[in-house]
């Protein structure tokens, strides 16, 4: 590899000569070996570079819309979190956040009430179960006493038979009196007595027939239906009471918790939508290349400004070939000069060597150099010339 002595190396040599000429007056000169034509200088790798901030970013909006406000101007120094640009639609987005916050409060209150009311709900469920048990018992009794052979005991049937016999005897007796009666008045009085006796006989017969009989198909269907309803209601009340024992009903609790989770997600989405209407500085820096204007439509991912930390500038090489890159290592000293500042040379050191070749023509690697000091007038994007001393 041919070693090149460039403008940066001249600065190093000039400094060395000045130090050599600063000896103590009257001191005896020390003999030094004569330089020969074959003397070799330390190897130097030279490259062109560009001045960039240590930290910079091309910023764009996360949402799309019309630019409503530009809160900064190019060259402004900003701090992390400071608002830079706002899009239209702020009022609607803030209203959506307020609505989402209210729904979240409602969901939280509903869940709180459900848990607080659990003891009362459990007591009410237990009472409902007791009432359902009683209602089932009543229906079971009514169903049972309506079945054939279950309507009355043998004693009750014998009593009904006796009452029917007496009622029939009374009918016969009043029928005889009616037949023997003469005169309208006597006949009418006998008719009244006969009719009453017939009614009592018919009632006694109906009672006896009912005790001995069975329900009709329609009556049986009604009895079965009422009994089935009572059983279903009792079973539902039992399940409800059992679910209420440890706390709120699981289905109601899951519904309330789901509502709360949905409200939290809705609020997060509303807040994000509001935040997407505002671009904030991710770090401290200076506004550069501000491209947006009020009234313009911007889309997500479309860069509208550059933000750079101009307090910490460094140099990145642009044309360092692969052969020279292989000779370098982190920490190698260097001298950097600038086209725009011809009288300025700055010492630097290699911080990092690219692990992959840069995009573009040829095989070049980016080397990042940290400047020991930032000269006045140095700006982002200026051209730099780098002479790196290779440690071989």
The DSSP symbol for 248 reads: S
Share of the chain above pLDDT 90, in %: 68
**Residue 119 to residue 351: CA distance in whole angstroms:** 69
Band of the pLDDT at 10, cuts 50, 70, 90? very low
pLDDT in tens, 55-88: 999 999 998 999 999 999 999 999 999 999 999 9
Q: How far apart are the C-alpha atoms of 277 and 204, rounded to whole Å?
A: 92
Percent of the chain with pLDDT over 70: 88
Condensed to tens digits (0 to 9), the pLDDT of residues 279-293 reads: 999 999 999 999 999
Q: How confident is the model at residue 126 (pLDDT cuts 50, 70, 90)?
A: confident
Q: What is the pLDDT of residue 42?
A: 53
pLDDT tops 80 at residue 23: no
H helices then E strands: how many in the chain?
8, 14
Q: What's the whole-model pTM score?
A: 0.55
Contacts of 181 by beta carbon, 8 Å cutoff, 6+ apart:
187, 189, 190
Q: Please tell me the predicted confidence (pLDDT) of residue 34.
A: 46
CA distance 308 to 287: 7
- Min mean pLDDT across 119-128, 131-140, 202-211, 372-381 is at 119-128
Alpha-carbon distances of 206 from 16, 157, 161, 196, rounded to whole Å: 140, 12, 11, 15
Q: Give the model's pLDDT for residue 197.
A: 93
CA 64 – CA 78 distance, rounded (Å): 23
Instruction: Average the pLDDT over 331-347 and give the result.
Output: 94
> Which band of pLDDT confidence, cut at 50, 70 and 90, is reported for residue 247?
confident
User: What confidence tier does 214 reach under pLDDT thresholds 50, 70, 90?
Assistant: confident
In this prediction, residue 381 has a pLDDT band, given cuts at 50, 70 and 90, of very high
Say if CB 60 and CB 391 are below 8 A apart: no
What's the average model confidence in pLDDT over 222-238?
93
Alpha-carbon distance of 150 to 152, in angstroms, equals: 6
Indicate the CATH number of 7-18+41-54+312-389 among 3.40.50.170, 1.10.1490.10, 3.40.50.880, 2.40.30.170: 2.40.30.170
Q: How are beta strands 285-288 and 305-308 bridged, if at all? A: antiparallel
Sheet containing 56-59: give its strands across. Answer: 56-59, 305-308, 285-288, 77-78
Q: Hey, how many other C-beta atoms are within 10 angstroms of the C-beta on 293? A: 10
Has residue 2 got a pLDDT over 50? no
27, pLDDT greater than 60: no
Round the average pLDDT of the chain to a whole number and report it. 87
Average pLDDT over residues 145-156: 87
Alpha carbons 82 and 70: distance in angstroms, whole number: 12
Contact between residue 66 and residue 297 where contact means Cβ atoms under 8 Å apart: yes
Banded model confidence at residue 392, pLDDT cuts 50, 70, 90? low
Of 149-153, 272-276, 286-290, which range is least confident? 149-153
pLDDT at 253: 87
């Amino acid at each position: 590899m041919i070693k090149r002595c460039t403008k940066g190396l001249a600065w190093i040599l000039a400094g060395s000569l000045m130090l050599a000429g600063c000896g103590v007056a009257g001191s005896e000169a020390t003999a030094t070996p004569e330089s020969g034509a074959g003397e070799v200088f330390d190897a130097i790798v030279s490259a062109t570079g560009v001045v960039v901030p240590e930290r910079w970013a091309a910023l764009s909006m996360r949402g799309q819309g019309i630019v409503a406000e530009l809160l900064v101007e190019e060259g402004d120094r900003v701090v992390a979190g400071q608002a830079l640009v706002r899009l239209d639609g702020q009022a609607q987005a803030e209203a959506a956040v307020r609505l989402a916050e209210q729904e979240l409060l409602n969901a939280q209150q509903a869940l709180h009430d459900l848990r607080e009311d659990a003891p009362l709900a459990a007591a009410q469920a237990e009472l409902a179960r007791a009432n359902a048990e009683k209602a089932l018992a009543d229906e079971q009794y009514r169903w049972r006493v309506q079945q054939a052979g279950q309507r009355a005991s043998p004693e009750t049937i014998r009593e009904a038979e006796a009452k029917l016999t007496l009622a029939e005897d009374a009918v016969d007796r009043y029928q005889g009196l009616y037949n023997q009666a003469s005169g309208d008045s006597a006949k009418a009085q006998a008719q009244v007595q006969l009719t009453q006796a017939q009614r009592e006989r018919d009632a006694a017969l109906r009672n006896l027939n009912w005790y001995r009989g069975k329900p009709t198909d329609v009556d049986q269907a009604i009895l079965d239906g009422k009994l089935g309803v009572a059983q279903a209601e009792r079973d539902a009340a039992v399940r409800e009471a059992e679910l209420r024992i440890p706390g709120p009903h699981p289905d109601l609790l899951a519904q309330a918790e789901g509502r709360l989770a949905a409200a939290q997600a809705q609020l997060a989405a509303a807040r994000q939508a509001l935040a997407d209407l505002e671009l904030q500085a991710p770090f401290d820096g200076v506004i550069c290349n501000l491209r947006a204007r009020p009234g313009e439509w911007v889309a997500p991912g479309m860069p509208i400004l550059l933000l750079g930390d101009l307090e910490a500038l460094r140099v990145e090489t642009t044309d360092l070939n692969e052969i020279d890159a292989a000779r370098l290592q982190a920490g190698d000293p260097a001298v950097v000069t600038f086209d725009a500042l011809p009288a300025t040379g700055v010492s630097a050191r290699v911080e990092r060597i690219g692990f992959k070749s840069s995009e573009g023509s040829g095989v070049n690697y980016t080397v990042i150099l940290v400047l020991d000091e930032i000269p006045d007038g140095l700006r982002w994007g200026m051209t730099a010339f780098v002479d790196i001393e290779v440690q071989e």
